[in-house]
Chain A
């Protein structure tokens, strides 16, 4: 998943190359001969596998190794959805409580089960009842600093692609193109973020015939519509 570019320890923001896993961390293979542990204990054990000892939390590196174990890309939307399911508070980190809550809800106590659960999770997050909640979560998740109100343009674009790219491909492409050339706004705030989703859901595209700029759309979308219309007419 994309990181906020302010993070000091982070490698370049758009993609994260996984550093070699810490040698101090050993993967505990479950010996089949061990007595059958309670599920919650298994979940805890799994947590310990990836957690940073000193922090007591899973940190970015841990998440990376989790991803590689699951054979899921770091920037895959399903990781974001996992964070959502866990109600994770801080980007790049999973606390023990979050981990437990998430995996319990997914009924996953092994990596295999977790991987299987991910596809179900995707459907769940994308369902009409949940999608808006997930969408909003994705935004808030990027607000790493305290009192941070907006996500920078670069990261917003990436996030849009991840979260909306599959459902609203052409809208996202256009929006991203616009966001990169416009100069009015340097960050996207929550109101604008939610506006994007509404736009994709309600406005026919690419004609945008039912867009009325006298309605309460955020100004950034008014400008986007004008820009797009001008572009199409000048062709």
Chain B
């Protein structure tokens, strides 16, 4: 059939049965309340999650969220109050266990409750700014259990008691501790800190205060440090096992303060076992422990450093001013090197190569090495000794090591120019007497000096080496061109360039005819190839090897100085000579001649001459004979006196004066250099610039600098500014 009625399809909403039941909310709540009870009573298995969830959902949906929430609060609160009672009732040991158990129960319950009330958690609670269920559960626990008057202090005291027992050596239940502490942490860091940590730290401080006092009375420094270290480690371990990691730093600072910081001075200065004793006895382990502990506290390392520095300075000062030590320069320097080695070792092994300690070491050395004005001289003598014989048979590497150590001492010197002067003198003697153990070692040291001080320092020294080499070539050329001289005495000439070698005024000396003829031949040979030069014989620096036959036929080879040779050759033509005759024949100046005769007539084992009378001093009327009875177990006898020695007082004064004189032009050169580039500079800055420029060589005296400035003003190199008298102006 075609007539169909048009009907609007309407889909009608499924209508819920409208709940008009006023008791609906109450009934639903009762269900939920009952569920909560069951949960707390460990009867949750009989409950239907779905049903409970739906009930909670409905309550919220029908705007009974408030009732639900407040019901939850009061129900939970009442349960917690009961729980609280049962915890309070626990005796002794079981208190914590009971607390722990109940806490676990509560958490489980809370979990379930939260699941059931999830809809409320997500809708009603946020929009009404209420505390979410889980957090609410924790807060209620906190307020009703932890902060309950009967539990709060008991809990704290129990925990602290356990810690104390553990500290005194007992074993405690760490797992339980961990759980309880975790509970506090879960309740919020405010709870953890206020209800536990704060008190824990206070009590610990007290504990360690007492303990440290006890220890320090009865232990020596090393033992105390061991104990302190042990306690520190214990506390760190404690934290890892059952405390909040954030507490570590707090408890360690408590221990550091009580055990270390408060007792630092007393520990360091403890008699017979303090820092100084540890240093003296090379107690690496104890020192290392002290370093590690002290670096944790403010000024800890500073304290160690200060004590070490003052001890080192004191020791050093005694070393360099002790008259006994000053008698042997080589020993003196060796002792300094030993001291340096000792401290290098300590800093390396115990102070983990800490740079601030290395600097302290350097400063101390710089301080005391310069207290003795003879340090530069002694260091040069030490090097001289090593290069003459000390390095014989030593491997190349070891040679480098020793030279490097010497360079370290050299760097500490303030008056490097004094060292240079002595080094030059000693080097000259070594080169001329051919007494150097290793050419390579000599060169190596020169290179090191050049690296340290620049080319100027070593150019003259290198010149000396060059002269030696050139002289060798010259001698070869000489003998090659005069083959007829092969038969006579052998002449070896070293031609020294005046500027490079230490100057010595040469004096008169009549060479024996055999030698003077030979010398003249050489002179003409040399001047033939080097026109425009002047040669002057340095008879005070030469030596000779002579073959001698004595009365009983004993033959010896004598190594003597040139002066001694001249004297001995006279006895080829005369049996007996008195002092005056010798003086006339040789024309050697009196003081040298006397010394020369003494060395040949008055020294046992070297007395090739006999003197009448037999006194030690040389008198004008003394007579000399060849000592026919001379004997020595050696064929070769050395009588020459060319070894470098510690200077006598007058010699020292002279050298010092020459050094002072040399400094004046250096200061002036520096002044001119600086003023030329700055044009205008004030007084104080000028002084400090000059000092800085010269400090590689020596420390200039400000008064001396002032003198040089005034001299330059007088010579119109500089002028004072008209307006500001502190300014100097360069005059082109």
In the docked arrangement, what's the CA distance between A150 and B726, Å? 22
A215 touches B714 (CB 8 A): no
Q: Looking at the complex, which of B175-183, B657-665, B703-711 is the stretch in contact with chain A?
A: B703-711
Q: Is A22 an interface residue (CB 8 A)?
A: no
Q: Which residues of B contact A191 (CB under 8 A)?
A: 710, 713-714, 720
B332-360 vs A, CB cutoff 8 Å, 1 = contact: the mask equals 00000000000000000000000000000
A216 touches B714 (CB 8 A): no
Q: Which residues of B contact A65 (CB under 8 A)?
A: none
Q: Which of A207-235 contact B (CB under 8 A)?
A: 214-216, 218-219, 222
In the docked arrangement, what's the CA distance between A191 and B722, Å? 11
Q: Which of A156-191 contact B (CB under 8 A)?
A: 189, 191
A216 touches B725 (CB 8 A): yes
B683 touches A219 (CB 8 A): no
A219 touches B684 (CB 8 A): no
Contact flag A216-B728 (CB < 8 Å), given A149-B714, A189-B714: yes
Q: Is A113 an interface residue (CB 8 A)?
A: no
In the docked arrangement, what's the CA distance between A150 and B727, Å? 22
Return B730 CB to nearest CB of chain A, in Å.
Answer: 15
Q: Is A25 an interface residue (CB 8 A)?
A: no
Contact flag A219-B714 (CB < 8 Å), given A198-B725, A214-B684: no
Q: Which of B683-699 contact A (CB under 8 A)?
A: 683-684
In the docked arrangement, what's the CA distance between A189 and B707, Å? 13
Q: Which residue of A lies closest to B707 (CB)?
A: A219
Most buried by B among A191, A214, A215, A216: A216
A216 touches B707 (CB 8 A): no
Return A218 CB to nearest CB of chain B, in Å.
Answer: 6
A219 touches B703 (CB 8 A): yes
Contact flag A216-B713 (CB < 8 Å), given A191-B720, A222-B703: no
A219 touches B726 (CB 8 A): no
In the docked arrangement, what's the CA distance between A215 and B702, Å? 11
A216 touches B703 (CB 8 A): no
B717-732 vs A, CB cutoff 8 Å, 1 = contact: the mask equals 0001000011110000
In the docked arrangement, what's the CA distance between A150 and B710, Å? 13
A215 touches B707 (CB 8 A): no
In the docked arrangement, what's the CA distance between A194 and B726, Å? 13
In the docked arrangement, what's the CA distance between A149 and B716, Å? 11
Q: Which residue of A lies closest to B704 (CB)?
A: A219
B725 touches A219 (CB 8 A): no
Return B511 CB to nearest CB of chain A, in Å.
Answer: 47
Return A187 CB to nearest CB of chain B, in Å.
Answer: 10
In the docked arrangement, what's the CA distance between A192 and B684, Å? 19
In the docked arrangement, what's the CA distance between A214 and B114, Å? 85
Instruction: Give how many A residues have a beta carbon under 8 Å from the other chain's beta carbons.
Output: 13
Q: Which residue of B lies closest to A149 (CB)?
A: B714
Q: Which of A188-207 contact B (CB under 8 A)?
A: 189, 191-192, 194, 198
Return B281 CB to nearest CB of chain A, in Å.
Answer: 46
A215 touches B683 (CB 8 A): yes
Q: Which residues of A contact B706 (CB under 8 A)?
A: 218-219, 222
In the docked arrangement, what's the CA distance between A35 and B449, Å? 92
A218 touches B683 (CB 8 A): no
Q: Which residues of B contact A198 (CB under 8 A)?
A: 725
In the docked arrangement, what's the CA distance between A192 and B706, Å? 12
Contact flag A215-B703 (CB < 8 Å), given A149-B714, A189-B714: no
Q: Which residues of B contact A189 (CB under 8 A)?
A: 710, 713-714
Return B399 CB to nearest CB of chain A, in Å.
Answer: 47
Return B340 CB to nearest CB of chain A, in Å.
Answer: 35
In the docked arrangement, what's the CA distance between A176 and B291, Å? 64
Q: Which residue of B lies closest to A184 (CB)?
A: B707
Q: Which residues of A contact B726 (CB under 8 A)?
A: 215-216
Among B682, B702, B710, B728, which residue has its beta carbon within 8 angstroms of that of A218? B710
Q: Which residues of A contact B713 (CB under 8 A)?
A: 189, 191
Return B62 CB to nearest CB of chain A, in Å.
Answer: 95
In the docked arrangement, what's the CA distance between A196 and B600, Å? 64
In the docked arrangement, what's the CA distance between A215 and B726, Å? 7
Return B683 CB to nearest CB of chain A, in Å.
Answer: 4
Most buried by A among B682, B706, B707: B706
Q: Which residue of A lies closest to B721 (CB)?
A: A216
In the docked arrangement, what's the CA distance between A218 and B712, Å? 12
Return B184 CB to nearest CB of chain A, in Å.
Answer: 67
Q: Which of B285-330 contact A (CB under 8 A)?
A: none
In the docked arrangement, what's the CA distance between A219 and B707, Å? 7
Q: Which residues of B contact A194 (CB under 8 A)?
A: 720
Q: Which residues of B contact A192 (CB under 8 A)?
A: 710
Return A216 CB to nearest CB of chain B, in Å.
Answer: 4
Q: Which residue of A lies closest to B716 (CB)?
A: A149
In the docked arrangement, what's the CA distance between A52 and B518, Å? 75
Among A149, A216, A222, which residue has its beta carbon within 8 angstroms of that of B683? A216
Q: Which residue of A lies closest to B724 (CB)?
A: A216
Q: Which residue of B lies closest to A219 (CB)?
A: B706
Return A134 CB to nearest CB of chain B, in Å.
Answer: 16
Q: Which residue of A lies closest to B687 (CB)?
A: A214
Q: Which residue of B lies closest to A189 (CB)?
A: B714
Q: Which residue of A lies closest to B682 (CB)?
A: A216
A133-147 vs B, CB cutoff 8 Å, 1 = contact: the mask equals 000000000000000
Q: Which residue of A lies closest to B703 (CB)?
A: A219
In the docked arrangement, what's the CA distance between A218 and B725, Å? 11
Q: Which residues of A contact B714 (CB under 8 A)?
A: 149-150, 189, 191
In the docked arrangement, what's the CA distance between A194 and B721, Å? 12
In the docked arrangement, what's the CA distance between A214 and B720, Å? 16
Return A227 CB to nearest CB of chain B, in Å.
Answer: 15
Q: Which residues of A contact B720 (CB under 8 A)?
A: 191, 194, 216
Return A131 CB to nearest CB of chain B, in Å.
Answer: 15
Q: Which residues of B contact A218 (CB under 8 A)?
A: 706, 710
Q: Which residues of B contact A215 (CB under 8 A)?
A: 683-684, 726
Q: Which residues of B contact A219 (CB under 8 A)?
A: 703, 706-707, 710
In the docked arrangement, what's the CA distance between A219 and B703, Å? 7
Q: Which residue of B lies closest to A191 (CB)?
A: B713
In the docked arrangement, what's the CA distance between A216 and B713, Å? 12
In the docked arrangement, what's the CA distance between A191 and B684, Å? 18
Q: Which of A110-154 contact B (CB under 8 A)?
A: 149-150
In the docked arrangement, what's the CA distance between A219 and B683, Å? 13
In the docked arrangement, what's the CA distance between A55 and B83, Å? 135
Q: Which residues of B contact A214 (CB under 8 A)?
A: 683-684, 702
Closest 8 A/B residue pairs (Cβ): A216-B683, A216-B726, A191-B713, A219-B706, A189-B714, A219-B707, A149-B714, A218-B710
Contact surface of B with A, Cβ cutoff 8 Å: 682-684, 702-703, 706-707, 710, 713-714, 720, 725-728
Contact surface of A with B, Cβ cutoff 8 Å: 149-150, 189, 191-192, 194, 198, 214-216, 218-219, 222
Known: A214-B702, A216-B682, A216-B728. 16 other contacts (CB 8 A): A149-B714, A150-B714, A191-B710, A191-B714, A192-B710, A194-B720, A214-B683, A214-B684, A215-B683, A215-B684, A215-B726, A216-B726, A218-B710, A219-B703, A219-B707, A222-B706
Q: List 12 A-B residue pairs with CB atoms under 8 Å apart, sorted by A's residue number.
A: A189-B710, A191-B710, A191-B720, A194-B720, A214-B683, A214-B702, A215-B726, A216-B726, A216-B728, A218-B706, A218-B710, A219-B706
